[in-house]
Amino acid sequence: MISNKPMFDRFFRYISIDTQSSEEETQVQPSTQKQKDLAAILYAELQELGAEAFYDEENGYVYAQLPGEEPALGFVAHMDTSPAASGKDVKARIVEVYDGTPVILSEADAGSGRPAVILDPADFPELLAHQGEDLIVTDGRTLLGADDKAGVAEIMNLFAFYAKNPDVPHRRLCLAFTPDEEVGRGTEHFNLEKFGAKEAYTVDGGKLGELEYECFNAAAAKIEIAGKSVHPGSAKNQMVNAAALAVEFHQMMPAAEVPEHTEGYEGFYFLEEICGDCENACLKYIIRDHDRTKFENRKKTVQNITAYLNEKYGAGTFRLTLRDQYANMAEGMKDHMHLIERAKQVMTDLGVAVTEVPIRGGTDGAALTYMGVPCPNLCTGGYNFHGRYEYASVQEMETCAQMLIRLAEI
C-alpha cells in the first residue's frame, strides 16, 4: 500500500500530461510545446512550496533552490517522454500485492483485431522480483511515463520534505527539470548559473539499487535516399528504387551489432525508423558504444557504407547526416567518486543492495559532467521504459524518495 500519498498524487498528476518530445523538430527547444504544460505546473508547485524558482519559459527549463548549508547539491530529472510510444491519455492503475502471475493490461478487441496486451513474467522475468509489491501499470495503449516523471516526483518530494521541515539540517538544494532529454537535447540550453550547484545527481535510472556513472558515447545518423520513379512497365535501366536501396544499405550494416544481441559494454547500431517509396526513402539509426575508439569506428562504418553506395549508384543518391548526442561520462567522473561512495552508503543504510552498472543509454548527467557538474545517475523504481509494458514499483519509488532525502542530509 502507498505510504507516501502526496508523492504518488504528484506522480499520477504528472503522467496524465502528455510531454512526448520529437526528433523531427531540431531548430527550437523544447521540441514540442506540450512539454511546457508540465513545466508550468512544476514551477507553480515549487513556488507554493516556498522554493526560489525560475521558469525559463522560452526553452522549457525549470530551476529551483532551497536554502541550506554549503556546498549545494543538485538533482536533475527530465520532463519529456520518449517518442517511441504515445504518452497521451495515460490511464494508470495500481496492481496491489502483485502475485507473480501475468497482468492483463488490456483485453483483446475482436472488433478492431487488437490483441490483448499482457505484462507477463515469461517475457519480463524481473517481474518475479516484485512479488508482494504494488505495481503501477498502464492500460497497454501508452507508455507510463515513469521515465522520468518518477524522478520528477521523487525530487519534488525531496523539496516538499525540506520545505516543510526547515529546521532539519540539510545542504542547499538545487533542482533542474529539463525538456528533450529523450531526443539527446536535454542540456542544449541548460543554465548552470540558474541551477546553482557544482555537483549533482540525475534521478533517471530504473531498478532499485542501480547506480550509474558510465554511459554510452552516442550519435544519431540519418540517411536520406533519392530515387527515380518510373512506370514499372518501362523501368529497365531507368528506375532507381529508393526503398530497395534503403534495404540494401541496412543489409550492409553489422547484423549482430544490434540492441537485441548486445549487453553490458557492447555497443550497437539501432535502426529506429525506416520509411519511403520508390522516389524517396529514409533510414534513422542511433549509434552507441562505451569505448570512444570503437564509437568513432562505428560512425566511420556508416560513412563508408554511404560512400560506397554513392560510388555505386551516383553521387548524392545517399545523403548522410551524423550528429553526436552525448559522451561517456566516466572520464569526467574520475575525480568525483565521493558522489558514488555517498550514494552507495545511503543505499546500504536503507538496506538496498547496490549494483554499479554501465548505462546502456544516456542521461542529462553525461552532458552536465562535461559541462563541469559531475552528475552520476540514481535509480527511480521504474522498468521497461519507452513502451506500453512500462511499470513502476510503489515500494521502490518510496525507497528512492527516501534515498534523496538522506543524500541531502549534512
> Would you say how long the chain is, in residues?
410
Q: How are strands ordered across the β-sheet holding 318-326?
A: 268-276, 280-289, 217-226, 318-326
| Per-residue cell: 408 | 541531502
Question: Could you give the domains of the chain?
Answer: 5-215+328-408 (3.40.630.10), 217-326 (3.30.70.360)
Catalytic residue among 23, 147, 148, 181: 181
Determine whether 288 is exposed, middle or buried from the number of CB atoms within 10 Å of its CB (0-12, 13-18, 19+). Answer: buried
Helices (H), 256-393: 292-313, 330-333, 338-349, 364-370
What confidence score (pLDDT) does residue 273 get?
94
What cell was used for 361?
543509454
What does DSSP say about strands 377-378 and 200-203: parallel, antiparallel, or unpaired?
parallel
Q: What is the dihedral of CA 26, 27, 32, 37, to 10 degrees?
A: 140
Angle between helices 146-164 and 5-15 (to 10 degrees): 140
Q: Catalytic pick from 45, 80, 134, 147?
A: 80
The pLDDT value recorded for residue 50 is: 96
* Catalytic residue list contains 80: yes
What pLDDT, on a 0 to 100 scale, did the predictor assign at position 246? 98
pLDDT of residue 65: 98
181 flagged as catalytic: yes
- Show Cβ contacts of residue 231 under 8 Å, excluding neighbours closer than 6 positions: none
269 sits in which H/E element: strand 268-276
Over the chain (410 residues), the average pLDDT of each successive run of 10 is 92 98 91 98 98 97 98 98 96 97 91 88 97 97 97 98 95 98 93 97 96 92 96 92 98 97 94 96 96 96 98 97 89 92 97 91 86 96 97 98 96
DSSP run (H or E) holding 385: none
Helix or strand (DSSP H, E) at 164: helix 146-164
